[in-house]
Chain A
Amino acid sequence: SPGLFVFRRRWKKFLFGQAIAHSISDLSRHVTLQIGSLEDYYHFHHSKTIKRSTFSSRGPHSFLRMDPKVKWLQQQEVKRRVKR
């Protein structure tokens, strides 16, 4: 319904490089994924975060947010897209 957002367990963040992304994901037990052909943007996934929720999650990614090498972090929100 309008105004209802669904959040997914995956997070993206902006870093300085792939090696740093992997080291951070190892420490925080996240899985790192490449986002298409975008450089310095990584997609993080943690099995302990609620898979799909109507509330923004405040789970294990808090460790990610606290890392000084992380410039920007955003939880994925499901968007309504329709075929035309």
Chain B
Amino acid sequence: HVRSNQQFPSFNDPLWSNMWYMHCGERVRHCRSEMNILSAWQRGYTGKNVVVTILDDGIEKNHPDLIQNYDGRASYDVNGDDDDPTPRYDASNENKHGTRCAGEVAASANNSYCIVGIAYNANIGGIRMLDGDVTDVVEAKSLGIRPEHIDIYSASWGPDDDGKTVDGPGVLAKQAFETGIKKGREGKGSIFVWASGNGGKEGDYCSCDGYTNSIYTISISSATETGKKPWYLEECASTLATTYSSGAFYDRKIVTTDLRHRCTDGHTGTSVSAPMATGILALALEANPSLTWRDVQHLIIKTSRPAHMQTTDWRTNGAGRRVSHLFGFGLKDADALVVEAKKWKTVPSQHVCIGSSDKRHTSIPADQPVQMATKTNACADHADQHVVYLEHVVVRVSILHPYRGDLKINLISPSGTNSQLLGKRLHDNSNEGFKNWEFMTVHCWGETAEGEWTLEIFDSLTRIRNPHLQAKLKEWTLILYGTAEYPYNMVNSHHSRSRMLEITASELEPSKAAFYHNQMEIVEDEDEYTAVPGRHGSLTGPCHTECGDQGCDGPDANQCLNCVHFSLGSAKTGRKCVSSCPSGFFEDNTARKCRKCYKGCETCMGRNPNQCTACRRGFYHHQETNTCMTLCPAGYYSEESHKHCLKCHQRCKKCVGEPDKCTVCKDRFSLVGDSCIPECSPGMYFNMEAMRCEGCHPSCQTCAGPGREECIQCAKDFHLHEGRCVPACSEGFYPEEVYSLPHKVCRRCEYNCASCEGSGKNCIKCQEGFSLLSGSCVTNHTCHNADETFCEMVKSNKLCERKLFIQFCCRACLLAG
């Protein structure tokens, strides 16, 4: 908590006291960390002269709590193509969303109505664009409304969060983002804030939403009042920061303005968080209007705080920043943001380094992680593309996969930061895979770009599949964004460096710890720790108790000339005497030095990889080989309570959690549930009661039981038809090959067709009342208005050769000659 001035005047807005996320500093509140909005207000920042618009279903511009700050120039009705963004009113108040979001940002203060907006003096507008058909043009138009006037565009919508959709901006919307960041705000770049996603319950992953996953949007996620993950929250590596929102039914929600001049205390979802973040950014833009779109992202990363955001996912990246897939860099801090913004110096220009595409087709066997590594010099040979310090990292991937939801993808940076680009999505059974999909991570922000990057793909077998069909990586490309120079000046960097030094070695992941040992220069060396002649005895005070008989140059443990017990560190970088070696080091009693254990070891007997006795966080101890590993090898499972790799049951090739919870079986065994049962010969299945192989129905090639409805794959020359294997499709259906299946599937012929051949579009017999014309069935009715001119148009445009128009008076025109 920071300065909370008790003298700050209370507002007369009736729901002011219900805005719990503004009062976390008070002891009675459940929220333990402040977003420090009051402190930013106390510094005088309330959003004056900053223009915000809400891209949504409209804004009630005459709402008493919005009217004072309403800005018509920041508004437009894309659905109705006019300047009035007023929502369409209906009985269910469906179009309340934009008005609710707007109130969070800029509801007026001290007007005895509803609430106080976070930027209560900002100009607020609304772009009505969700209440109608949304197309690429509608989105592009909305994202590009008056970019010279509007500073921040806040969007709390996106593709379906159903856990099976992969969708993002079209060509024009992408163009609108790029135009916005290049030309908006007189070249400083429009600020696009986005709600990270609401599909937590559906197992959705926000990297499958191309808007929130874009480098041009600031992706905001949510935390409950107690700092937990709300049920709706999606995780992904592109989330930048978090604001408070709401959680379970017993958690308090957000109070804001509502449709029909009302107020509400029931606003929820990530829609709460994006406008909240927008309001905080409006304060920062008031503090420093010359911030660029990239300055804003740097500022958010520097000032957001992990404190009290509860997840085990926190990790420290190679630049010393704590980041999580749930909360990004943490809870937004308005006060820190305005303070940093005020003194901010624009970051150096953005460089983009596009790596060469790896087009080797790589098969991805199920349940075995596949790693592809690429080394990069980060375009060091092109001065205008050279990236030294990272910002966003994008991986463009094309993968074929019979069940897309089974895929998990990670990216490991040269500093060892492991970003999960895609998590498993149980509802996603699409066989479309990913076609040039761009996954984005902000987890490597501030790290150096050069070195070896590793893409890790894991295809977890969660459902019955054709064992011959494997996932295939067709192509991947690494795109690095960042700067050639260190982005912060010394004044700015002080804050981040002091934050870095606050991190203790035990908090770091092993790989980062190793990196930090280099950065902080706590490395051992082989030179002797001997006295320096001529300096001994120059002291007047006592030496540190750990100093040996040769004395010291000062009172501290790092000023000893030799040690009683062990020395830690190196001569180059400074070393000190310690009574025992810290974790990650072992005691060399002969040399009386602390020597470093092998990477990943917490304690060890020597420096070899097979001398580990305990492992660091994130590693598992393999007791048979005394090694530490991030993933247990095949045949072993990770036992989480003691972090050991333990052996699977003898029939399992792989298992999880318990020895007999198999995920992959050894040869001659098949997986049923989580047990490995003896494999039966083709046409047989294993009867669990009789404990023997028995025959499938003759129509099945493989099956789960004896019935004809229990086929997994059809026998030769049989086709799958409505859950059964049949020798021929019934009338009105035709057999079609399917990518993921070894047999054909019966598909229905086109509408009105009684029988077709080869494809649904090649009809050979029509239903009653229809006639066959060029493989399609046209109605026997004729058009009354098909005059000569009309039929000439039909003929000249060859409409009757086109499927879409074949019902279009073709018969009438043909009969008329």
Contacts and interface: CB of A to CB of B under 8 A. Distances in A.
Interface of A: 2, 6, 8, 10, 12, 35-39, 41, 43, 52-53, 55-58, 62, 74, 76-84
A35 to B, nearest CB: 5
A6 B130 CA distance: 16
B179 interface: yes
- Judged by DSSP, the binding face of B is mixed
Interface string B39-77: 000000000000000001100000000000000000000
A82 B167 contact: no
B195 interface: yes
29 contacts: A10-B135, A12-B136, A12-B137, A35-B140, A36-B140, A36-B141, A38-B140, A38-B144, A38-B172, A38-B176, A41-B140, A41-B172, A52-B133, A55-B803, A56-B804, A58-B802, A74-B171, A76-B135, A76-B137, A77-B136, A79-B159, A81-B157, A82-B157, A82-B160, A84-B156, A84-B195, A84-B197, A84-B270, A84-B274
A78 B269 contact: no
B198 interface: yes
A23 B146 CA distance: 26
B531 to A, nearest CB: 68
Nearest to B805: A58
Given A8-B133, A79-B167, 9 more contacts: A37-B146, A62-B797, A79-B136, A80-B159, A81-B134, A81-B158, A83-B157, A83-B271, A84-B156
A76 B132 CA distance: 14
A80 B160 contact: yes
B143 interface: yes
Contact of A83 (B56, B145, B165): B56
Contacts, number: 101
Contacts of B156: 83-84
B760 to A, nearest CB: 14
Contacts of B143: 36
A84 B198 contact: yes
Between B57, B97, B130, B175, the greatest number of chain A beta carbons within 10 A of the residue's beta carbon is seen for B175
Contact of A81 (B137, B140, B159, B274): B159
A36 B134 contact: no
Interface residues of B, number: 47
B183 interface: yes
B483 interface: no
A36 B195 CA distance: 23
A42 B156 CA distance: 27
B599 interface: no
B247 interface: no
The 6 A-B residue pairs with the shortest CB-CB distance in the complex, in nearest-first order? A36-B144, A37-B144, A76-B135, A36-B141, A84-B198, A84-B195
Contacts of B161: 82, 84
A55 B195 CA distance: 32
B269 A84 contact: yes
B136 A81 contact: no
Given A37-B179, A41-B172, A76 B136 contact: yes
B511 interface: no
A78 B135 contact: yes
Contacts of B164: 2
A79 B179 contact: no
A80 to B, nearest CB: 6
